[in-house]
Each structure stands twice: as structure tokens, then as C-alpha cells.
Amino acid sequence: MLNIGDPSIQAHEVFMQRCLQLAVLGAGHVAPNPLVGAVLVHQGRIIGEGYHKKYGGPHAEVNCIDAVAEKDRELISRSVMYVSLEPCAHHGKTPPCADLLIRHKVPQVVVGCRDPFPEVNGKGIEKLRAAGIDVIVGVCEEDAKAVNKRFFTYHTAYRPYVTLKWAQTADGFIAGIPGERLMISGALTNRFVHRWRSEEAAILVGTNTALQDDPQLNTRYWTGPDPIRLVVDLDLRLPVSLQLFNGASRTIVINTIKQGEEQGIQYYQVDRKKELVPQIMEALYRLRINSVLVEGGAVLLQSFIDSGYWDEARVITNTALTAGTGLPAPRLLMAESVYTEPIQTDLIQVFTRPAVSL
């Protein structure tokens, strides 16, 4: 338990915030692993920094210690390691980070929050303490959890973190008359959307959106990785000529007819007689997809809202465009506004579902 009267707490928070700044640099590259940053400090001076850069690659603590200059190597055993998430204690794709810190005789470790993954969840902290290392847990804990909201949701709610996204006109329409594509958001806003895509493990659209818009669902307007493409096509009526099936990135078709993989496309079968959204959540959990951006259409978006399976909604409103008629935008129920930003004629609003515990 932290002693908030301790003057060292402020210093701990400063270095932990640096860990969190580093952690988010791995966004889009480490899933289903968590975002983690680490900082090694000797008498108030940072001598090493690192973050988890790529799934399957070295963890933050390894990169941090490797970054220490040769002239400072002797200081490692007299320094404090700050890490945003509990060091792992198990053999996964890499050796345990707790063992690394013990081997380098780091005397104190300051942790942002515990890791909810069952293979860790307190075991890393216990191992460090058993080796005589002083461990402080809970510095900037809420911020540390927020950075890993996707990871925490996956391991505590047993489903992916769900972000809804749509663009609407000033008078509340998501599309124009049938057969006519309505371009709502501007070019600059589209770059934001593609950045959002790069931060999520997967992106999901419905059958009608795939047919009418023929989307690529990639990050061509941003530098990040493309998400896994998911499409709901219950009756398998989408033509293979669509860009979704061009092989550019992994594509999964949620349907009621078949299971397996054919010609590079993965098919995941669901039961037509059961509610769709919970089945999608179960499918993505089983596929180890810890976050999904739902981009449409309106019926699919509304089904996520009505079922309560959503965590965040990002709504883009073109304040200078009216449609007069068309397809109404989804209706958020009990949403809490957390962020608003104008971009030219577009207004980006971010909402969260209240009372969601990470």
C-alpha cells in the first residue's frame, strides 16, 4: 500500500508516467499482449528506457536493461526499475522478466498495476519479493489500467474491448438514399480514423456495408499495421471480387454455413437461432482478438449498443452537411461524453458506456 505522505511518491509518479508514454508506442503491434513501458532510474537519473515493441519480441524490461549504456551497467544493481505492468513470471514466447530483474540484482521495482493474465496475476510480484527485492505496487494504477483497457477487458470480461465508430450528418443520418454513397467525414478526419484502425486488433463490418461500400478496411492513410478484417455474412452472399477478399490482410467471415479456412479466408460459424453479438464476442475471445473496431453498418452498430456489448463510441458529425433523408444514425443509450474535438467542419465525439469496470 502506498503512503501518500511519502515525498518519494511524486518522483515515482513522474517516472511511471514516462513508462506509460513509452508503453503506448507499441499500440497496434503487440496484441494480444499488453502495452508495457519500463524505465530504469539511478539517483533520479534515467539510465535506461524500453517498451514492448512487437508481439513475440523482447518485453519492456529486457529492452530497458539492454538500453543501458556500457558506462552505466554497473549502476543497474543500485537502480530502481519502474514498469507499467507487473513483470511476468512465466515462460511464454520470452523468458520471465521477473527472473531478469533478479539476475541483475535490481534492488527495487515500482509497478503500475498487477497483470490480470492468470499465468502472472501476482506471481511476478511474489517472485520478486521472495528474492528480496522491494516492490511497490499501484503507482498511477488507474492510468496504467486505462492504457491497457483492451488487455484488461479481454482477461477480466472474457471478451474483446469494443469500440464503435460511425460518421453522421448534422441532421443525424449515417447514409443517404439506398444505392447512393454519402461521403460524410473529411480527408483530415479520415486520417484519424485510420490511426484508430491501426490501434485495434480487428475491424468489423456488416454484409450491407461490405456490398455497398466495398471497403478495404486498412490503414492506407496512416503508418500503423492493418487490423484483422471481420465481416458478418450470415448467408455467404458476398462476392469474392470484393476488396475484403483480396488477401492483403487476414480476413474472417462470420457466417451460419461453414467453419474452417478456404483460399486464405477464415470462416467462423455461428448459430442463426441465437443472438448474434454474444456469439461474435465469444468467437473473438476464442480467436485471441482482444479489441475490435465496429465500423458499420447502422443495424450492426445498433445491435452492439442494444446488447450492451460496447465500451467506447467515436462519433464523427459533419456539422456542415445535411442529408434530409436516408438511413438514421445509431442511437447511443446511457453514454457518457469524455472527449470532443473539432476538425474543420467535422466534430469528433468520444463516449464511454458508464459503470464499466476494467
Per-residue model confidence as pLDDT tens for the chain (358 residues): 333 334 466 789 999 999 999 999 999 899 899 999 999 999 999 999 999 999 989 999 999 999 999 999 999 999 999 999 999 986 666 788 999 999 999 999 999 999 998 888 889 999 999 999 999 999 999 999 999 999 999 999 999 999 999 999 999 999 877 666 788 999 999 999 999 999 999 999 999 999 999 999 999 999 889 999 999 999 999 999 999 999 999 999 999 999 999 999 999 999 999 999 999 999 999 999 999 999 989 999 999 999 999 999 999 999 999 999 999 999 998 899 999 999 999 999 999 998 654 4
Catalytic residue among 49, 61, 86, 312: 61
Burial 211-223 (b: 16+ CB within 10 A, else e): eebebebbbeebe
pTM of the model: 0.89
Which residues have a Cβ under 8 Å from the Cβ of 340 and sit 6 or more positions away? 347, 348, 349, 350
Residue type (1 letter), 7: P
If you compute the radius of gyration of the chain from its CA atoms, what whole number of angstroms results?
23
61 is catalytic: yes
Residue 326 dihedral angles phi and psi, to the nearest 5°: 135, -150
Task: Identify which of 291, 304, 311 has the alpha carbon closest to the alpha carbon of residue 330.
Answer: 304
Residue 319 dihedral angles phi and psi, to the nearest 5°: -70, -10
Residue 186 dihedral angles phi and psi, to the nearest 5°: -85, 175
253 and 162 in contact (C-beta within 8 Å)? Answer: no
CB atoms within 10 A of CB 338: 10
Residue type (1 letter), 135: V
